[in-house]
Structure 1
Amino acid sequence: MIGVFDSGVGGLSVLKELVNMFPQESIVYYADNANCPYGEKSAEEVSQLCDDVVKILLSEGCTLIVVACNTATAAAIDYLREKYPDIPFVGMEPAIKPAAKLTKTGVVGVLATEGTFKGRLYQQTSQKYASHVKVVVQPGWGLVDLVEHDKIETAAADALLRKYIEPMMAAKVDQLVLGCTHYPFLSSAINQITGGVINLINPAEAVSKQVDRLLAKFNLRDSKEVPSYKFMASGNEVTLLEMVERVLPEFQKQHLKRHP
């Protein structure tokens, strides 16, 4: 069984890819929305929150866990792998490599949380794959809250995105890395601002490929003919369920369990 967690609903962008790629796998999704957003918290605090969630997912029978949150990956994945050496963890690696490979202008943008920019993975990936291009970074202050509160198609969302995206357009960015799992839900709004001239890079597909490799490596594939799905939340379960119904309408009748 695959466990997937995020600070809120953002990880559903990863879950959608996993469901499409592994229709036979059972999945438990946990939204720690009582503590969202993670991006403004210290690495130590995020690590403790992640540890608490992992314990819940393990109690649900999960044998592989996807940390579907860039901030949580940056702050906690090394800690989690050390504490739980028998559990394969898959994190969110900033997709700078494909952006640097695809750019025609030589300028790529990264929209992410401050926690992601401060993380080891982002810094190592940037140095390794993007030393030959110009990287325009932009913390996405406030964007997670917009997604969590279902304010994606609002004037406030448009104004905030324009504040972040228009300077990138002026800098000739042609590839934009969505460095937070909440941000793919803003793709349509971003494309409206850019007119589609900036290619948006969502790392969910790469995560699914890594999950595939680990399921095979550790012989963890689910043999059940009919998979099961469970959605859990530490806080407001209504927001999670509404987003599940929108992103994965086939799950709208599935049981949502609130975990105190």
Structure 2
Amino acid sequence: MLTCASHAAIGVFDSGVGGLSIAAAIRQILPHENIIYVADSANAPYGGKPEQVVLQRCQTIVEFLMAQEVKLIVVACNTATLTCIAKLRALYPIEFVGVEPGIKPALNVSQTGTIGVLATHNTIKSQQYQQLVARLKTQNTVLSQACHGLVEKIEAGEFDSSATQMLIKQYVLPLITQGADQIVLGCTHYGFLSRQIRGIAGENAQLVNTSEAIARQTLAVLTRNEMLNSSQQQGQTMLFSSRCNPDFLAVSKLLWPNEIQQAHEFPH
């Protein structure tokens, strides 16, 4: 395994801005760590791409982050984690932390025995997701809902548009009708629509978001490997995007205010 200086940055990447929810959670519990975030916005979402394309993009990003000498890489994308993280671990000598839909914690607290999962098409159709559901559901019911178009709305900063509201209703209401009392946000982007989803689900269901759990796992891995930054200075975040334009920067600043100041071009 690659050994890096403790003051090296944590690498975080996603197909777009969704993983900023993970980066912000990491910042919350690890305020002194530096973060390098890569948004592959020119190729978002990964949820509709062939698996080989997603793997190629992940490899490009991982190699870029390793060139920046990061000490750990967080794959802040459910699709990339489920389809690619095992291959990435086999290919590169660095620690990876991944994300997966919070099906287990949702089932643990469900009163009806029925939960709903909002995710991308590729996440739901992946063999890894299907195995996860089969392993955990036992006598319970897991309703999987592919949410075509939601990632694009978030990437465009359309959080409260009528079109976004219509999509959320289209995806959430059938889950509520079928008795789901827990709604799992199975894509890191969807955390930025928590308020809107709650508004439609009402008192019928609680939301399950794994961002905080991923941040705690990042802390655990750094602690285990004695790689925590000993500096008492506030950590810095560098943002890279494969679609580095003013609109991307504006949405990023909106999603993570007071942290994002500028964005840098990532080769695509």
Compute the TM-score of the two structures, normalised by the length of structure 1. 0.95
The residue that corresponds to 1:106 in the other structure is: 113
TM superposition shift of 1:130: 1.5
Structure 1 range deviating more: 231-240 or 19-28: 231-240
C-alpha contact 1:244 1:251 (8 A) present in aligned 2: no
Give the one of 229, 234, 241 matched to 2:242. 234
CA RMSD of aligned residues (A): 1.3
**Residue 137 (structure 1) aligned with residue 119 (structure 2):** no
1:184 Cα deviation after fit: 0.8
Stretches of 4+ aligned residues off by more than 3 angstroms? none
- Partner Cα separation in structure 2 for residue 238 and residue 222 of structure 1: 32
Measure how far apart 1:74 and its partner are. Answer: 1.4
47-56 vs 190-199, which deviates more? 190-199
1:201-258: per-residue Cα shift (whole Å, max 9, x none)? 01111111211111012121112332221000011343442233223222243x4211
Asked whether the equivalents of residues 10 and 182 of structure 1 are also in contact (C-alpha less than 8 Å), the reply is: yes
Question: Cα offset for 1:187?
Answer: 1.0
- Quick one: distance in 1 between partners of 2:248 and 2:263? 9
Greater Cα offset, 206-215 or 118-127: 118-127
1:250 corresponding residue in structure 2: 258
Q: Is 1:201 paired with 2:208? A: yes
Q: Give the gaps of 5 or more residues in structure 2.
A: 1-8
Q: Could you list the per-position Cα deviations for residues 127-183 of structure 1 after superposition, in whole angstroms to 9, with x for gaps in the alignment? A: 222122111110011100000011110100111111111111111110011000011
* CA deviation vs aligned residue, 1:87-141 (integer Å, no higher than 9, x gap): 1101112110011111001110011012111234322321222122111110011
Give the distance between the partners of 1:199 and 1:75, measured in 2 at CA.
27
Q: Paired residue for 1:88, among 95, 100, 105? A: 95
Q: Is the 8 A contact 2:35 2:236 kept in 1?
A: yes
Q: Are 2:103 and 2:133, in contact at CA under 8 Å, matched by a contact in 1? A: yes
Output the CA distance in 1 between the equivalents of 2:27 and 2:247: 20
Query: Is 1:167 the equivalent of 2:174?
Result: yes
Q: Partners of 1:96 and 1:189 in 2: how far apart?
A: 21
Question: Is the CA contact 2:244–2:266 (under 8 Å) kept in the aligned structure 1?
Answer: no
Q: Give the partner amino acid of 1:238.
A: P
Cα-to-partner distance string for 1:31-56 (whole Å, 9 max, x where unaligned): 00011111111111100000001111
- Distance, in Å, in 1 between the alignment partners of 2:194 and 2:163 is 15
Moved more, 214-223 or 178-187: 214-223
CA apart distance, 1:69: 0.5
Distance (whole Å) between structure 1 residues aligned to residue 246 and residue 83 of structure 2: 28
Counterpart of 1:231 in structure 2: which amino acid? L
Q: What secondary structure sits across from 1:195 in the alignment?
A: helix
Alpha carbons 1:8, 1:240 under 8 Å: kept: no
Instruction: Answer whether contact 2:156 2:251 (CA < 8 A) is retained.
Output: no
| Structure 2 match to 1:56 | 64
Residues in 1 aligned to 2:248 and 2:76: alpha-carbon distance in whole angstroms: 15
User: For the residues of structure 2 that align with 1:66 and 1:120, how far apart are their CA atoms?
Assistant: 21
Letter in 2 for 1:179: G
Aligned to 2:32: 24
2:218 alignment partner in structure 1 = 211
Task: Name the SS for the 1:39 alignment partner.
Answer: helix
For the residues of structure 2 that align with 1:204 and 1:136, how far apart are their CA atoms? 21
TM-score when scaled to structure 2?
0.92
1:38 paired to 2:46: yes
In the alignment of these two chains, the number of paired residues is 258
Cα shift readout 1:64-89 (whole Å, capped 9, x = no counterpart): 000000111112101110001x2110
Q: Does the aligned pair in 2 maintain the 1:94–1:125 contact within 8 Å?
A: no
Tell whether 2:87 aligns with 1:79.
Answer: yes
